[in-house]
Structure 1
Amino acid sequence: MPERIINTTSIRMIACFAFDDVMSLDVVGPLQVFASANAELERQGRERGYEVLVIADAAGPVPTSGGFRLYADLDWRELELQATDTVLIAGGDGVNRVRERRDILDWLVQVEMCVPRLGSVCSGALILAEAGLLDGRLATTHWSRCDEMRKCFPKVDVTEDRLYSYDAQGLDGDPHIFTSAGVTAGIDLALALVEADHGRVIALAVARRLVMFLKRPGGQAQFSAYLTPAIGTTAQLAGLLEWIPGNLDGDLSLEALSLRAGMSARTFSRVFTRDLGMTPARYVERVRIEAARALLHDDGMTVTRVARLCGFGHPETLRRAFQRHLSVSPQEYADRFGRRPVAVPV
C-alpha cells in the first residue's frame, strides 16, 4: 500500500464531488462554511485558510435534484490529490448510479491513500461504503437510508442518530474517513473541520455569521419522521399498527397487544420483531414519542398533559424517553419547534 501523503501547505484545498441529480445543499452548504471561515480569518488579519472547488465527471454545469445546475471547476480525474487536504462526497438522488461506477470507486480508494481527510455528506456515505472504505468504521447517513446501509454493508458500524462521525482526536469518531447525516448535517461537519483547523473562536464566528449552532444539540432524530411505513407486515399486524396510534394512553403491554393480534405473546413478539425490525415495546415507545413531538409543536400543550395523552403517565418518564431517543428534553424540543404567536400590526 502506498504511503499516505500529508498535505503541509497552510491553505487547505477542499474538493466536493458532485454528480448528476446531486443534492445541491450537500455541495454548497459545506463549501460556504469554508468560504465564511476565509472571511473571518481575513477579518482578523490572518491568511485565508481554504481553497474550495467542485469536481465532477467534467468541468461545467452539473444538474442537481433541484432542477437547476451547479458549476464544476474540474474533472475529478484531474484533481491533484497530493495538494488536496479534504475530499467530500455529496449525496442526492444520483447516488445509486455513482455506486455502480467502478472507475469512481477505484478512484476513491486512491483518494483515501493520498488525502488527510475523506468524508461524505448525507447519502454520499453509501458511495464510500460501496468502495469498501467504511468497513469497520463508525458511519451515519440520512435517517431514511440508515436501514439500507446497514443491510447492504454489514461491516459498517451504522449509527442513526448523530450528525457526523468526524472527531479530530479520533476518540469519538474518525479524523481520516468520516460521514455526516442528512443534508444540513454537512454544514455541521464542515464547522467541526474548521474548528479542528483554526480553533473554536473562528468556528464560532462562522456559526454566528451563518446564524446556526456551532454544535447542534441532539442528533438527526429530532428532524426525522421517526417511523417510516412498515413494509411487508403481516395482515395480522397491519390492523394492529393502525390501531396503536389512537390508543396511546391505554394498555399497550406485550400481553395486551398479543391478545389483540390473536397470537401467543411469544409468537407475537417473534413475528413483530421479524416484520418491524424492533421489539413491540420499542415500537410503542417510538410511536408515543412521535405523537408527543407532534403535540409539543402546539404552544397550548404542557409537558405534563402531553405525557398523559401519549401514555407516558409522568413527565419524568417522557423526559427520559426524549433524552434516550432525541438527546433533548421535551421542554427543549418545545422551545425549539413549538409554534410562537406572530404579532400582526394593526
Structure 2
Amino acid sequence: MPLSTRTVACLIYPDVMSLDAVGPLQVFGSANAERAGHGLPPAYALRMVAEAAGPVTTSAGFALVADVSWATLDPAQLDTVLVAGGDGVMAQLDNTTLQQWLRGAEPQVRRMGSVCSGALLLAHAGLLDGLHATTHWCRTDLMRRDYPAVQVDDDCLHTYDAASAVYGHLFTSAGVTAGIDLALALVEADLGRPMALAVARRLVMFMRRPGGQAQFSALLAPETRHAPRLAALLEWIPSQLGGDLSLDALAEQACMPPRTLTRVFQRELGTTPGRYVERVRVEAASNLLSQAQASVSTVARLCGFEHPENLRRSFHKHRAVSPQAYAQRFGAGALLD
C-alpha cells in the first residue's frame, strides 16, 4: 500500500505547555527530514490548531502560532490528533464547544491521543471511559478522583499499542517528554523501527523508551517531609538490593514496628514497602542491563531477585518487556543467558 501524507494536528490553547506540542511535532518533522535525505516525500503534514488561528501564549510566556481553528477543520481529513497539556488545561474543561469537537472528531480520525495533562480533556469529553489512561504524575490523583470510569495508570509513559484496535486508536501519555516517546512509537507504527531509531538519533535521544516504563526513577528518593526516619531508609535501600529487604528487615532498619512502617509508606509514598523495593530493584537491574555489565542471572542475583524468573516477572510488570528484550533494545551488547 503506497504511503500517503498523514496530517497530524496538535491542539493547543492559552497556557499550554510548549514542549507538549513542539516535542511530538518535531518527531514527525524529523521523520520527514530523514525521508528527504533518502529522496522520499514527506510522510506527515503538521498543523498547530487552536480555537482561533494566530498566536497562543504558552505557560512559558512566549507564543506558538496556530495556523487554523479546530472549529473549521474537517476531522475526516486528519490522520492523528494530539491534545497537548499544560497549566491552561483546567480552563478548557469548561469549553463545551471544544468538548463537542473532540467527541465528534474521535470516530473520524485514525488516531487521537494526549500529551501530559491533555488527557484530562479527553477524559472530560467521556472518551476515556472504561480505558486505561495515564497523565503527568502530579495529575493522576485528580484524574482518578474526577473521572472514576477511567482506569488510571500512574506508572507508565504512554498507553499507545499499535497492535490494539482500542489503544491503537485512542491513547494517552505521561508528562512532557513522554509525548516524544509517544510520537516515536507512532512513527515506528507508521514507518518502521529503523525510521523511529533514526529519528531518535537525529534528536540526540539516548533511547526510545517503551510505553510501559515508569514515569520517574525509583532510585531518586522521594521527599518525605514528615518522616525523617523514612527518608534515611529510602537512602539506605539502594545500597542493600542484594540483601534482605523484607518488611521486618526494613522495619528494623527504620526503628519502627512493621505495621507502623507500612502506614508511613502509604501516607508518604502511596505504596507499600514491598512494592517500593521491587521498583528500586527493577530500576537498578535496568541500569545494569543497559550498561552491559552482567548476564541476566547475575543481574537477578545482584539486585535481590534471587532467580532470573523473578526478575522476568517484575520486568514484565514494570517495563512491559523481558530483561533480555530490554538489554537487546537499550544495552550495548549485554550478556544474555
TM-score above 0.5, yes or no: yes
Q: Could you tell which deviates more after superposition, 253-262 or 177-186?
A: 253-262
Q: In 1, Cα distance between the equivalents of 2:203 and 2:172?
A: 22
Who is 1:152 aligned against? 146
Who is 1:202 aligned against? 195
Identify which of 178, 181, 184 aligns with 2:177: 184
Secondary structure at 2:106 match in 1? helix
Conserved 8 A contact 1:289-1:321? no
Distance 1:9 1:312, change over 3 A: closer
Distance 1:261 1:180, change over 3 A: same
Secondary structure at 1:105 match in 2? helix
What does residue range 8-157 of structure 1 map to in structure 2 within 5 Å? Answer: 10-157=4-151
Conserved 8 A contact 2:156-2:215? no
Conserved 8 A contact 2:157-2:210? no
Distance 1:228 1:102, change over 3 A: farther
Distance 1:281 1:99, change over 3 A: same
Q: Could you tell which deviates more after superposition, 201-210 or 268-277?
A: 268-277
Secondary structure at 1:34 match in 2? helix
- Structure 2 residue identity aligned to 1:26: D
Please, what is the CA RMSD of the aligned residues?
4.3
Conserved 8 A contact 1:227-1:287? no
Q: Which entry has the higher C-alpha Rg, 1 or 2?
A: 1
Q: State the Cα distance separating 1:174 from its structure 2 match.
A: 1.0
Distance 1:34 1:268, change over 3 A: closer
Instruction: Compute the TM-score of the two structures, normalised by the length of structure 2.
Output: 0.73
Conserved 8 A contact 2:132-2:153? yes
| Structure 1: runs of 5+ lacking an equivalent | 1-7, 337-346
How many residue pairs get aligned? The number is 314
Conserved 8 A contact 2:135-2:174? yes
| Structure 2: runs of 5+ lacking an equivalent | 332-337
Per-residue Cα deviation, 1:2-35 (whole angstroms, up to 9, x for no partner): xxxxxx9922211101111111111111111222
Secondary structure at 2:204 match in 1? coil
Task: Give aligned-pair identity as a percent.
Answer: 53
Q: In 2, Cα distance between the equivalents of 1:214 and 1:272?
A: 32
Conserved 8 A contact 1:191-1:214? no
